[in-house]
Structure 1
Amino acid sequence: MTVIGMLHYRADPRKVFKSYVFAATAKSEGVGFFYFTPGKVNIQEKRIKGKVLKNGEWVDMDMPFPDVIYNAGSPMTEKADEIHDHLSKHIPFTSHSIGDKISVYQRLKKGKKFAQYLIPTNVINNNAEFFEYTSRYSRVILKPTSGHKGMGVLFVEKIRNRYLLIDQDRNLELDRKEIDVFLSRQFSNQEYLIQPYIECKTKKGNAYDFRLHVQKNGRGEWVNSAVYVKIADSGSMITNLNSGGHTMYLDLFLKNQFGEYYFNVKRYLQRFSIALARHMDQLYDESLDELGIDVGLDSNQKIWIYEVNWRPGVAPAFNLEVDIPRNTIQYAIFLAKKQKSDTKIKI
């Protein structure tokens, strides 16, 4: 029987909600499953002190190395990083990092095939670069290079000699001196990316974008797990669901926005996500397993790629908790079987 190990940095699986879902899904798929942290790995004996879900409770069990590892969390210490590296050399991991926002942008740009869908993006380090950029684009978005969940994103619109600034909590109008002081403070603590603002708004004027969630299934093929819309509150530019945005049923949203053409837009998004995922697989040395692709549609219904994430979060609605863990578990089984098959061929 295939055994999957879920590797995470938190010691207590009860604090990792998805651990229950993945353990239950693994059981329904007829495979073994246990949870563990790097500190519980004995490299010399190839044993792990893991936790197995039994009758709704996590029970300590001494386990041999699993056939495949669902690496759900990144190592937090140097020692954990060493253990992570050792395991990855001997056991297939489901997930592999695609890098930060700017490295993904540069890789896609170099790959050319999807370069036309990229928003021009630059790393910005000082006020002079900001003012030069806003002389070309009157409306821009600033994103922390290491940001996530919409935290720290700034929208700035230049209106003659004044600047309208909107972030998660504020809506300010600043003059040149005031924004100069504001930006100096921001750039001293964080490196940012800057992009021209692509207007993607509902008929009521709310900013929105789409999350295209794609995964590999039990055959190692890319499939659409979900497409959902993220809508900013009135007066905000932040669509992220963890930072004030909200969502609604996709078909209802598309019908409201695109009328009789809603299904064409839906298929356009789904096909685009699969095509992009396949392309990105070709750009990396390690095979990818899951992507969260954030895109917008401009007034001409052209897709623009805002960013691509690995280990994407899941919308808290619409039964997505069923399909996503099933694809993850089935792909893990696929990797384990492939590893055994490749080993037999080498022997």
Structure 2
Amino acid sequence: MATLKEKQLPQTLHIIDTLIEAADHFSDLVKQKNLNQSIYIFSSIVDGFSAIEKTLAKTKSDEMKQNKESIERSIHFIAKQMEQGNFLKISEVIQFSLMPQFRELKRTFEACIPGEQATEPITIGVYSSRANPRIAYPEERINAYVEEAERQGVDLIFFSSEDVDFENKQINADIFKANEWQKMVSPFPDVINNIAPSSRIQQTRTERKLRRELPFTSFYVGNKFHLPKKLVKYRKYANLLVPFKMCRHENIIHEFMQENKIVVFKPIMGRRGENIFFVEKRGNRYSLLDHKKEQIIGQEKFNEWLHKVILKRKNSYLVQRYIHSRTKSDEPFHIRAHVQKNGDGSWQLTKIYPRVGSKKSNLSNIANEGRIEELGPFLEREFGGQGKEYEQKTLEIAIGLTRHLDHIHGLALDELGIDLTIDQNGRFWLHEVNNGPQTLFHEKERAANTVAYAAYIAKNGIVHTNELAERKPIKDQFESRYTNLTWVESTEQSRIGMLMQNNEPDELAVSCARTAHNESVDFFYFTPKDIDFDEMVIRGYFYENAKWIPKVVEYPDVIYDHLRMRGTKRYRIIYEELEEIPFTNELSVNSVSRSNIYDHLTDANDLKDVTIPYQKVSRVKDILHFVEQFGDVMLKPDRSASKDCYCISKSAIDHYMMSDEKKNKQYSEIGLTQHLREKIKKGSFVVQQHVKTLTTDGQSSNIRIHMMKDGNGEWSLVSSDPVLEHDGSSRTDNENNWLVQHYGEKCAENLKKQLPALSHKIVTVLERIHAEHFHVVTLDFTVDEKTDLRFVEADFDNRGIDDVKTAQHAIAYAVHLSEGQI
């Protein structure tokens, strides 16, 4: 064991503890038959075990070797059973093999660790990236930290990014010594307690470098929108969430307020109850309450207020159902639970208390004439005999939710502030969760756990990330430290980066560069390999004198996503790295559901007749029934590109024709049934009546409408063209000539008038369906035998649009997004 590095011992032991905890969580997910999350946690277990295999091998212990091989066999067996979906067998193996093997591994490894020897006092660095913590933190908290550090026998140093000397591994720190503050040079600390954790994109280069060298205690959990998305994804505790919508469009807000007469508008990045608005719809008028100031306004004024305040910046507000939670004295209240990890790395309830606001307000904010109370007496007074029950449930939710959030954030969290409330029906709701809760009334209790947990991290050599294993180096990734390229200086101009798959710029990139130049906007393209993650810069290609010139540039203000691979495993790291930068498109690959689109269009009264009859397929009989009913049908994957669509028709008794863009093939009913059964095993499909518009030469054709967001963030009709249905190629004649040729001037004129309005209505519905925004959509229409327009398909890319028109709209919209971030 002596061959192992000193810090590998406690770090490996901590990973084993994490594996035991993850295996226990894995067991619960398997029992719930939650396949997706089981796969995620199992992958983390595999990664974690792989991370310590080399360390285990160095022990040269036969017992350790046998234990390691047993675990490998169990993991391999579980992987095979997961492929078959055999939850019962997986549960047995976890309970009777894997868990005992991990515990035995811990016992064996602990036996190899030599006894502890006297060590130097631990040094904790209290760090704020952009300002000295003594300025950023209230004086009461700083004093509590200093007193607690002395009590626990650890040293504290306070510093910001400008105090760090990487070359000599020193800090020019503020240190409280001999009853006074002194500026002293100190070696790097053993651990860093960081103020106000931020997402990776918001971290300075100094913070990123420090994170590569030293363990940190705190990690970012996301904004008010990110956390609900996580809870919904993992399902557990999602029932606590208050119904909400992102404020992306005026129609979304009005639609939400049809179902919820009283709502709350909250800023995504808000803190301390600031800029929160309560709105109640009263017939055609609205009551707008900002803290205590109420005003009654009409529909026109309300819409003006929405655009001036709520919609001024893209995705800056969410609208939430108002939860009526007030005391018997008509005072608003919520319950704040402050939860921290302690000196053993375990979760502990530091303080839990009701926060009661003024009866003149809807906010239970103690900063505005509010107060705090003891939990038990408060609940007994307000809820009588149910008070004890509610108190116990509050405690259970606070700790249970905290542990769940810690699991889904890679066990890297250190403290949370959880705001719960109880409505008049006794239902519990989660208002919000944040990283750095205010602790004006219990700074000493907070300091005790903060210092103890930081010391625990240092003693055990724990280096947390948001995953069990660190990100592996990427081959051929750009590193700005070794380049001689020119660095681009910062300017006041908006900077747009076009993300592409490879270093082969197309005509669209050239058109974007020229358009950007004309609009006085900086533009460059880059590929995933061009990102320097550590230095937060990009090798961008700038179009100069008809050539693409590589230069080093900081991250852009907006990204035009020409790669469009969000949601894929291969490119996950790219989108995670750039997640704080606005993208022109946020839709993930295969995230769009055809059946969901058709369902929403059918539910819209003015679009119901435009939607062609369809059904989501659950069995082959559904398809054959549609063939019998309509003659010709289209079979479409629910979440895939239109090129995978098939046309099915019945040509004679027991004879069917199935065609795609490449070939036609005849089947008997038995043969077709077998073929379709194999297809629907591989994925979800939608069957739909095939309504055809035939050209004069007998080919099936559609009208394709191209819609893009413009410089005001509004939808604009870019072009409309007739296209052949199977291959999507444009006709040589324009839309007007084509319509006149087939339907005569009067009917053609009527169709031309309908298309823009109809397209805008459909795009509005598409925006309501998807929380993620997008800036381009292609709509295909056909004309039925009654010369009525029927909606066929929506595709979220710019296929078939002229490059110059695409560039003009894309650059204008990117600038709009950029200005929205100011």
Q: Is the 8 A contact 1:151 1:243 kept in 2?
A: no
Q: Following TM superposition, by how much is the alpha carbon of 1:262 offset from its aligned partner in structure 2, in angstroms?
A: 2.8
Aligned equivalents of 2:430, 2:180: Cα separation in 1:
42
After the TM superposition, which residues 131-280 of structure 1 pair with which residues of structure 2 at under 5 Å, given as runs? 131-190=254-313, 191-280=316-405
Q: CA 1:85 to 1:261, structure 2 compared with 1: closer, same or farther past 3 Å?
A: same
Aligned equivalents of 2:411, 2:374: Cα separation in 1:
34
Aligned equivalents of 1:236, 1:340: Cα separation in 2:
45
Quote the residue 1:41 is aligned against.
164
Whether 1:329 and 2:451 are equivalent positions in the alignment is yes
Q: Is the 8 A contact 1:34 1:50 kept in 2?
A: yes
Letter in 1 for 2:244: T
Q: CA 1:341 to 1:114, structure 2 compared with 1: closer, same or farther past 3 Å?
A: closer
Q: Is the 8 A contact 2:287 2:295 kept in 1?
A: yes
Letter in 1 for 2:125: G
Q: Following TM superposition, by how much is the alpha carbon of 1:168 offset from its aligned partner in structure 2, in angstroms?
A: 1.9
Q: CA 1:97 to 1:74, structure 2 compared with 1: closer, same or farther past 3 Å?
A: closer
Q: CA 1:195 to 1:220, structure 2 compared with 1: closer, same or farther past 3 Å?
A: same
Residues 236-245 or 277-286, more deviating: 236-245
Aligned equivalents of 1:132, 1:341: Cα separation in 2:
47
3-state SS, counterpart of residue 444 of structure 2 = helix
Structure 2: segments with no counterpart, 5+ residues: 1-120, 465-822
Q: Following TM superposition, by how much is the alpha carbon of 1:171 offset from its aligned partner in structure 2, in angstroms?
A: 1.0
Match of 1:72 among 176, 192, 195: 195
Number of equivalences: 338
Aligned equivalents of 1:92, 1:235: Cα separation in 2:
46
Q: Is the 8 A contact 1:68 1:93 kept in 2?
A: yes
Q: Is the 8 A contact 1:150 1:243 kept in 2?
A: no
Residues 162-171 or 97-106, more deviating: 162-171
Q: Following TM superposition, by how much is the alpha carbon of 1:79 offset from its aligned partner in structure 2, in angstroms?
A: 11
Aligned equivalents of 2:272, 2:459: Cα separation in 1:
35
Match of 1:306 among 409, 431, 446: 431
Q: CA 1:79 to 1:152, structure 2 compared with 1: closer, same or farther past 3 Å?
A: closer
Q: Is the 8 A contact 1:3 1:67 kept in 2?
A: yes
Q: Is the 8 A contact 2:125 2:157 kept in 1?
A: yes
How far does the alpha carbon of each residue in 1:167-209 deviate from its partner, in whole angstroms, 9 at most, with x for none?
A: 1241112221221122121134342111111111111222211
Q: CA 1:12 to 1:324, structure 2 compared with 1: closer, same or farther past 3 Å?
A: closer
Match of 1:10 among 122, 131, 152: 131
- Normalization by structure 1: what TM-score? 0.91
Quote the residue 1:102 is aligned against.
225
Percentage identity across paired residues of the two chains:
30
Q: CA 1:38 to 1:309, structure 2 compared with 1: closer, same or farther past 3 Å?
A: same
Aligned equivalents of 1:146, 1:15: Cα separation in 2:
18
Quote the residue 2:685 is aligned against.
none
Structure 1: segments with no counterpart, 5+ residues: 343-347
Letter in 2 for 1:81: T
Aligned equivalents of 2:361, 2:133: Cα separation in 1:
36
Letter in 2 for 1:43: F
How far does the alpha carbon of each residue in 1:155-178 deviate from its partner, in whole angstroms, 9 at most, with x for none?
A: 111122221111124111222122
Aligned equivalents of 1:299, 1:169: Cα separation in 2:
22
Q: CA 1:306 to 1:283, structure 2 compared with 1: closer, same or farther past 3 Å?
A: same
Q: CA 1:155 to 1:340, structure 2 compared with 1: closer, same or farther past 3 Å?
A: closer
Aligned equivalents of 1:103, 1:225: Cα separation in 2:
25
How far does the alpha carbon of each residue in 1:47-89 deviate from its partner, in whole angstroms, 9 at most, with x for none?
A: 001111124321111111111101014589x997111111112
Letter in 1 for 2:188: F
3-state SS, counterpart of residue 59 of structure 1 = strand
Aligned equivalents of 1:2, 1:96: Cα separation in 2:
21
Residues 212-221 or 159-168, more deviating: 159-168
Letter in 1 for 2:230: R
Letter in 2 for 1:151: E
Letter in 1 for 2:336: R
Letter in 2 for 1:21: A
Residues 125-134 or 323-332, more deviating: 125-134
Residues 59-68 or 158-167, more deviating: 158-167
Q: CA 1:246 to 1:174, structure 2 compared with 1: closer, same or farther past 3 Å?
A: farther
Aligned equivalents of 2:317, 2:298: Cα separation in 1:
21
Quote the residue 1:19 is aligned against.
142
Aligned equivalents of 1:340, 1:72: Cα separation in 2:
19
Q: Following TM superposition, by how much is the alpha carbon of 1:253 offset from its aligned partner in structure 2, in angstroms?
A: 2.0
Over the residues paired in the alignment, what is the CA RMSD in angstroms? 2.2
Quote the residue 2:215 is aligned against.
92
Q: Which has the higher contact order (CA 8 A, sep 6+)?
A: 1
Q: Following TM superposition, by how much is the alpha carbon of 1:126 offset from its aligned partner in structure 2, in angstroms?
A: 3.0
After the TM superposition, which residues 102-121 of structure 1 pair with which residues of structure 2 at under 5 Å, given as runs? 102-121=225-244
Quote the residue 1:50 is aligned against.
173
Letter in 2 for 1:339: G
Aligned equivalents of 2:246, 2:149: Cα separation in 1:
42
Residues 273-282 or 126-135, more deviating: 126-135
Q: Following TM superposition, by how much is the alpha carbon of 1:137 offset from its aligned partner in structure 2, in angstroms?
A: 0.8
